[in-house]
C-alpha cells in the first residue's frame, strides 16, 4: 500500500477539499480540525446557506497519493467524488464510466460527471445507494478508462471507518429518498 506521512495526508486532503468547494465559498473562512481514522482523514464545517454542518471524508489511493475518494454530506445529500490534487493525467469526458469492485459486492458500473479537470463526481442518488459498499468493504477499486482506452485502477482502503464516516452515515445515509 502507498505509504505517506500525516503532513502529506493533511496537505492532500486540504487540496482535495479546496478543489471541491463551490467557487462562492471564501477560502479565508476559518479552518476546522482535520481528524484521522485508519486510512480516512475527515472534518466537518459549516455549510453556506444551510443550518447544519457539512461532513467530508477522504481516503487516498494506494497507487497515487494525489488521487482521493472524497465523500461529502450536505444533509440530506451525499456525493462521492474521485479527486486528483494535480488533475487527472488524461482528459476526462463530461460523463465518465467508473467500475467499482469490492470484496463484498458485485462489480458496479456508475457514471461520474467531470465537474472540473481534477474532479469526477457521482450524483447524490447513486452515491446514497453506494454507501453500504463503502461502509462495509475493506477496500474499493475504481477503474476508469482514459481517452486512449487505457484502464487505470485506483485502490482505496476503507476500514476502519466508524468514526470517519459516522456523521455522513447519521446525516445522509439515514435519509430515505
pLDDT tens digits for 56-109?
Answer: 999 999 999 999 999 999 988 999 999 998 887 666 567 889 999 998 889 999
- pLDDT score recorded for residue 6: 46
Confidence of residue 22 (pLDDT cuts 50, 70, 90): very low
Please state, in angstroms and rounded to a whole number, the distance separating the CA atoms of residues 157 and 139: 4
Please state, in angstroms and rounded to a whole number, the distance separating the CA atoms of residues 27 and 4: 26
Domain tally for the chain? Answer: 1
For 13, 32, 37, 54, 63, the CA distances from 29, given in Å and listed in that order, are 16, 9, 25, 14, 32
Q: Which three cell numbers stand for residue 163?
A: 468514526
Confidence of residue 173 (pLDDT cuts 50, 70, 90): confident
Mean pLDDT of the region 106-129: 92
- pLDDT score recorded for residue 86: 84
Q: Please indicate, yes or no, if residue 108 is contained in any of the structural domains.
A: yes
Domain span holding position 15:
6-173
Q: Please indicate, yes or no, if residue 152 is contained in any of the structural domains.
A: yes
- pLDDT score recorded for residue 4: 43
Q: Please indicate, yes or no, if residue 117 is contained in any of the structural domains.
A: yes
Number of CB atoms found within 10 A of residue 16's CB = 24
Mean pLDDT of the region 24-49: 75
Q: Please indicate, yes or no, if residue 29 is contained in any of the structural domains.
A: yes
Q: Please indicate, yes or no, if residue 1 is contained in any of the structural domains.
A: no
Confidence of residue 24 (pLDDT cuts 50, 70, 90): very low
- pLDDT score recorded for residue 11: 47
CATH number assigned to the domain comprising residue 150:
2.60.40.1880
Q: Please indicate, yes or no, if residue 138 is contained in any of the structural domains.
A: yes
Amino acid at each position: 500500500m502507498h505509504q505517506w506521512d500525516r503532513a502529506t495526508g493533511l496537505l492532500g486532503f486540504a487540496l482535495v477539499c479546496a478543489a471541491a468547494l463551490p467557487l462562492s465559498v471564501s477560502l479565508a473562512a476559518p479552518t476546522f480540525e482535520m481528524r484521522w481514522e485508519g486510512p480516512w482523514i475527515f472534518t466537518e464545517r459549516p455549510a453556506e446557506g444551510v443550518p447544519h454542518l457539512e461532513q467530508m471524508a477522504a481516503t487516498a489511493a494506494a497507487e497515487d497519493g494525489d488521487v482521493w475518494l472524497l465523500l461529502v454530506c450536505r444533509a440530506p445529500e451525499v456525493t462521492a467524488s474521485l479527486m486528483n490534487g494535480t488533475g487527472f493525467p488524461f482528459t476526462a469526458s463530461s460523463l465518465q464510466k467508473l467500475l467499482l469492485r469490492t470484496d463484498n459486492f458485485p462489480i458496479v458500473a456508475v457514471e461520474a460527471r467531470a465537474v472540473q479537470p481534477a474532479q469526477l463526481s457521482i450524483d447524490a442518488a447513486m452515491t446514497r445507494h453506494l454507501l453500504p459498499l463503502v461502509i462495509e468493504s475493506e477496500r474499493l477499486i475504481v477503474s476508469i478508462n482514459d481517452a486512449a482506452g487505457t484502464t487505470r485502477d485506483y485502490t482505496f482502503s476503507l476500514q476502519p471507518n466508524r468514526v470517519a464516516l459516522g456523521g455522513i452515515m447519521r446525516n445522509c445515509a439515514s435519509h430515505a429518498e
